[in-house]
Structure 1
Amino acid sequence: MKTLGLIGGTSWHATVEYYTQINQKVSEVIGKQANPELLIYSINIELMREQNKEKINSKYLEVSKKLQEAGAEAIIICANTPHMVYDYVQPKIDIPILHIGTATGKAAQVSKMKTLGLLGNKPTMTGDFISSKLKNDYDMEVIIPEGESLDKSHYYVSKELTQGTFSDEAKSFYLNQIRDMKKRGAEGIILGCTELPILLKGIDSELPMLRTTDLHIKMAVEFILEN
């Protein structure tokens, strides 16, 4: 099995989800008598809240190099928003970063989706690190919430979900957003916050939900086991 480096901490709830599911899904293949070798570096979530892009880039490059030197053969960032560092970090290290946009695009392609709604925090929804990946690599269009709903989504992610609060109010808000995006032409919904699949777990919606966490973890497991 290959050794995978995990960059977590944003939030630690999401990191636990990644670590647990990677181990569980690998054991389904190899048996419970063994487990993959994983290297984890948990970053303080305050770094992302400062919104200092230069500082964020620098920290993720530093951590990526440490994981590479420690023996990681690839890196997975255990959240959506920190993929904003991908274009800066990837050319400066010698091992691949498994991009969450690639995992999402492949799944949407299999289902023949061309227009996707994206939910998450404001940097994820308005940034191009997921939408441009889908546009350039898979010829897919991305739509996001309109008006005050953009700020409301950001509030729920940054003030509740990443701090471990999963309220009925937040569930209702996101289900309404999915309904609205369906009217605007979305064929599927990207849950672009690692905690959103936790919030909406077991809930049926009006559109297929692309759970980026699950798709990303599947990509990680395939990498670990590809030999």
Structure 2
Amino acid sequence: MKTLGMIGGTSWHSTIEYYRMINENVGKKIGSQGNPPLIIHSLNVELMRRGDWNEINKTYLETSQKLENAGAEAIVICANTPHLVYEFVQPKIGVPILHVADAAGKEAERLQLSKLGLLGTKPVMTKGFIQDRLKSNFNIETIIPEPEYREETHKYISEELTRGVFSEGAKKFYLDQIQILKENGAEGIILGCTELPMLLKQEDTDVPLLATTDLHAQMAADFILS
């Protein structure tokens, strides 16, 4: 098996989900008594909350280099928002970063979906690093909530979900947004925050949900076993 480096901590709740899912997915192939070689570096979530992207880029580069030097043959960032560092970090290291948008794009192709709604933090929805990669690599169009809903979409994630709070109010809000995105032409919804699949399940809606945590963890397991 190949050794995988994991950058976690933003938040630790989602990092646990990644660790569990990667182990479970590998275990399905090698048996539940086995587990893959993983190296985890957990960052302080306050790094993301401060929003200093020069500091964030520098920290993720240093962390990626530490993981590579420790023997990681690829790196998975255990959250969606920090993928903003990809363009800065990837050219400066010698191992691939497994991009979360590629995991979502491959699943959309499998489901034959060409237009997706995207829910996540404000950077995930507005910075274009998910949408642009889906368009260039998979020719998939992506839409996001209307401007008047974006702050609330972000607020529930930053003030509740990343703190381990999963309220009925948050669930109702996101289900309402899914319905609006569907009415605007979305054939499926990307749950572009690692905590969103902990709040929303497929049985909650008739719109296909692409849970990036699940898909990214499967991509990581596939790499380990490749």
Q: Normalised by the size of structure 1, how large is the TM-score?
A: 0.98
1:136-176: CA deviation from partner (whole Å, max 9, x where unpaired): 11111111111321111000000000000000000000110
Q: What is the CA distance between 1:56 and its match in structure 2?
A: 0.4
* Structure 2 counterpart of 1:156: 156
CA contact (8 A) 1:179 1:206 kept: no
Matches for 1:184-223 after TM superposition, within 5 Å: 184-201=184-201, 203-223=203-223
Q: Normalised by the size of structure 2, how large is the TM-score?
A: 0.98
* Structure 1 counterpart of 2:27: 27
Q: What is the CA distance between 1:202 and its match in structure 2?
A: 5.5
SS in 2 for 1:194: coil
CA contact (8 A) 1:8 1:77 kept: yes
1:113-144: CA deviation from partner (whole Å, max 9, x where unpaired): 11110001101100111110001111111111
CA contact (8 A) 1:124 1:130 kept: yes
For residues 72 and 106 of structure 2, the distance between their equivalents in structure 1, rounded to whole angstroms, comes to 24
For residues 141 and 32 of structure 1, the distance between their equivalents in structure 2, rounded to whole angstroms, comes to 39
SS in 2 for 1:87: helix
For residues 69 and 26 of structure 1, the distance between their equivalents in structure 2, rounded to whole angstroms, comes to 24
Q: Which amino acid aligns with 1:7?
A: I
* Structure 1 counterpart of 2:139: 139
| Alignment root-mean-square deviation, CA | 0.8
1:126 aligns with 2:119: no
SS in 2 for 1:130: helix
* Structure 1 counterpart of 2:13: 13
SS in 1 for 2:33: coil
SS in 2 for 1:124: helix
For residues 54 and 13 of structure 1, the distance between their equivalents in structure 2, rounded to whole angstroms, comes to 25
For residues 23 and 201 of structure 2, the distance between their equivalents in structure 1, rounded to whole angstroms, comes to 20
SS in 2 for 1:119: strand
Q: What is the CA distance between 1:180 and its match in structure 2?
A: 0.5
For residues 158 and 202 of structure 1, the distance between their equivalents in structure 2, rounded to whole angstroms, comes to 23
CA contact (8 A) 2:119 2:153 kept: yes
* Higher mean displacement: 24-33 or 35-44: 24-33
* Higher mean displacement: 39-48 or 107-116: 107-116
For residues 32 and 177 of structure 2, the distance between their equivalents in structure 1, rounded to whole angstroms, comes to 40
* Higher mean displacement: 145-154 or 99-108: 145-154
Q: What is the CA distance between 1:32 and its match in structure 2?
A: 2.4
For residues 53 and 212 of structure 1, the distance between their equivalents in structure 2, rounded to whole angstroms, comes to 23
SS in 1 for 2:5: strand
Q: Which amino acid aligns with 1:157?
A: I
For residues 38 and 103 of structure 1, the distance between their equivalents in structure 2, rounded to whole angstroms, comes to 19
**Stretches of structure 1 lacking an aligned partner (at least 5 in a row):** none
CA contact (8 A) 2:145 2:177 kept: yes
Runs of 4+ in 1 over 4 A off after TM superposition: none
CA contact (8 A) 1:191 1:212 kept: yes
CA contact (8 A) 1:14 1:195 kept: yes
* Structure 1 counterpart of 2:67: 67
* Structure 2 counterpart of 1:81: 81
SS in 1 for 2:96: coil
Q: What is the CA distance between 1:204 and its match in structure 2?
A: 2.5
